[in-house]
Amino acid sequence: MLRADVRQDPHPMTERREMNSMPPGLRLLRPPTVIGQFNTLFFGSVRMFFLGVLGFAVYGNEALHFSCVPDKRELNLYCYNQFRPITPQVFWALQLVTVLVPGAVFHLYAACKNIDQEEILQQPTYTVFYIISVLLQTILEVIAFWLQSHIFGFQVHPLYMCDASALEKKFYVIKCMVPEHFEKTIFLSAMYAFTIITILLCVAEIFEILSRRLAFVSQSVA
- Express each pLDDT in 51-73 by its tens digit: 777 777 777 777 778 888 777 77
Calpha distance 213→222 (Å, rounded): 14
Q: Which residues contact 204 (CB under 8 A, 6 or more apart)?
A: 35
Can you give the pTM of this predicted structure? 0.75
Percent of the chain with pLDDT over 70: 80
* 25 against 215, higher pLDDT: 215
Q: Is pLDDT of 198 > 80?
A: yes
Q: Is pLDDT of 6 > 70?
A: no
pLDDT single digits (tens) 104-157: 788 787 777 777 767 777 777 878 888 898 899 899 999 999 999 998 888 888
Q: Is pLDDT of 18 > 50?
A: no
Q: Is pLDDT of 32 > 90?
A: no
Residue 80, amino acid:
Y
